[in-house]
Structure 1
Amino acid sequence: MKTIGILGGMSWESTLLYYKWLNEGVRERLGGLNSARIVMHSVNFHPVEEAMAAGDWETVASHLVDGAHSVRKGGADFLVIATNTMHKFAERLEAETGVPVLHIVDATAEYAKAMGMHTVGLLGTAFTMEQDFYKGRLEQKHGLKVLTPDTSDRSLVHKVIFKELCCGQVCTNSREEYIRIINGMEQQGAQAVILGCTEICILVDSGCSPLPLLDTTHLHVQAALNRALSEG
């Protein structure tokens, strides 16, 4: 079994899911008292979020690079960045640590294509929905058409993530707003919606969505399990 490196804490609400689902997955696949081999570095998210809000991405990167080096020193065979937005630095972390990064976009896109999907909606932080590191990878590397909400709805989605979900708060009104936005993307031709923030699965699930949901947290975990338990 390979050792999974997790760079988490952004926020710890979803890092908790990674740890739980990875261990449950290993137990399900191997049986008995088997559990995942994990090395984890959990950052203090408050200064990271402040730097993000200020547009100080170099400070953000410094926190992540330090964390990734910690994971490398712990013996990780590959790195899982337990947040969508921080995949902005995936290539840099891989280059500076030498540890391969299991990219969350690739895991999600490969599943979408396997399901025959070609047009997807995307919900996430404003950075994820608007910057090219994420949407561009979906479009250019994987050939998917990506739909995002309009400016005001992107702002709403972003605010709910940072003000509620990252704090462990689940509000009915916010769920209703997300479903309204998903309905709008269905009308634009989306076949499914990517939950492009690892906390969104706390708020919405397939039971309340009019479209299939591509939960990046779950898909990333499954890809990590496949990598960790592969013989190659």
Structure 2
Amino acid sequence: MTKLGIIGGTGPESTLLYYRAICEGVQARLGDDTLPQLTVESLSVFEVFRYCGAGDFDGLTAYLSEGFESLAAAGAQVASLTAITPHIVFDRLVEASPVPLVSAVDAVRDEAVARGTGKVLLLGTGFTMSPETNGFFTRPFTDAGVEVVLPDAAEIEEVQHRIATELELGVVTDETRDRFVGIIDRVHRAEGVDQVVLGCTELPMVLNDSVSPVPCLDTVAIHTRALVDAAVGDTEPRPGI
């Protein structure tokens, strides 16, 4: 089995979602008595926000690259981020990383194409949704023929605020869930989107297919499947206990 490395802490709640999903994915493929070889380098989502807010993408690249170097030193053979916002500098990270990286953006784009999706609503942090910085996410989709629609400016600000002050701290409220569902419903009615991209890895804490007016592209579920594929490869299941 290939040893995985993930950058955690960006934020802590999504790191837990990733760890659980990777473990469950490996067990589903190889049996309940098999767990992944996995190491976590915990950084800070708030440092990521500070770098992005200052437009210091060189600093962000250096900060994350140091994390990937630590993962490689711990024996990781394949690595990934566990957040969407740091993908702003993903191409730079690929060049600097000592190990191959698995992109969440590419994984979600591929899933959208496989589902025959024509138009998606993107929800995420302000940095992921902002017209000034969202090209790292929207361009791969539009290049694949999938139109990306954004909330309006006030909604972008509100979603960012609720992510940073609630979800990143593990706070889940019905009010925030209802507000996000309302945004999805408004954009769906106005723009006719097929699906919503949960483009922040904390969003699955409050959104899923059972509450959303349109089907969700769950970034955590989709990305972790790709990571399980990378970890398991052609490994055969062992006999049960």
TM over 0.5: yes
| Structure 1 unaligned regions, length at least 5 | none
Shift of 1:214: 0.5
1:230 aligns with 2:220: no
| Structure 2 unaligned regions, length at least 5 | 236-241
Counterpart of 2:223 (choices 211, 214, 220) is 220
1:128–1:135 CA contact under 8 A, matched in 2? no
Shift of 1:201: 0.4
Q: 1:197 corresponds to which residue?
A: 200
Q: How does 1:141-160 map to 2 (within 5 A)?
A: 142-160=144-162
Q: 1:68 corresponds to which residue?
A: 68
Structure 1 pair 169–84 and aligned structure 2 pair: CA distance change class (3 A): same
RMSD (Å) for aligned C-alpha atoms: 1.5
- Per-residue CA deviation, residues 114-142 of structure 1 (Å, 9 max, x unaligned), is 111111110001111122111122212x2
1:57 aligns with 2:60: no
- Tell me, in whole angstroms, the C-alpha distance in 2 between the residues paired with 1:206 and 1:156: 22
SS at structure 1 position matched to 2:63: helix
SS at structure 1 position matched to 2:156: helix
Shift of 1:216: 0.3
Q: 2:6 corresponds to which residue?
A: 6
Q: 2:238 corresponds to which residue?
A: none
Shift of 1:32: 3.5
Give TM-score, length-normalised by structure 1. 0.94
Counterpart of 1:211 (choices 197, 214, 217) is 214
What is the identity, as a one-letter code, of the residue corresponding to 2:179?
A: E
SS at structure 2 position matched to 1:34: coil
Q: How does 1:68-217 map to 2 (within 5 A)?
A: 68-130=68-130, 131=133, 132-140=135-143, 142-187=144-189, 188-217=191-220
Shift of 1:111: 1.1
Shift of 1:80: 1.3
What is the identity, as a one-letter code, of the residue corresponding to 1:48?
A: V
Shift of 1:48: 3.3
Shift of 1:229: 1.2
- Tell me, in whole angstroms, the C-alpha distance in 1 between the residues paired with 2:182 and 2:25: 33
Equivalenced residue count is: 231
What is the identity, as a one-letter code, of the residue corresponding to 1:201?
A: P
Q: Percent identity?
A: 34
What is the identity, as a one-letter code, of the residue corresponding to 1:144?
A: V
- Per-residue CA deviation, residues 172-219 of structure 1 (Å, 9 max, x unaligned), is 211111111101221211000000000000011211111000010110
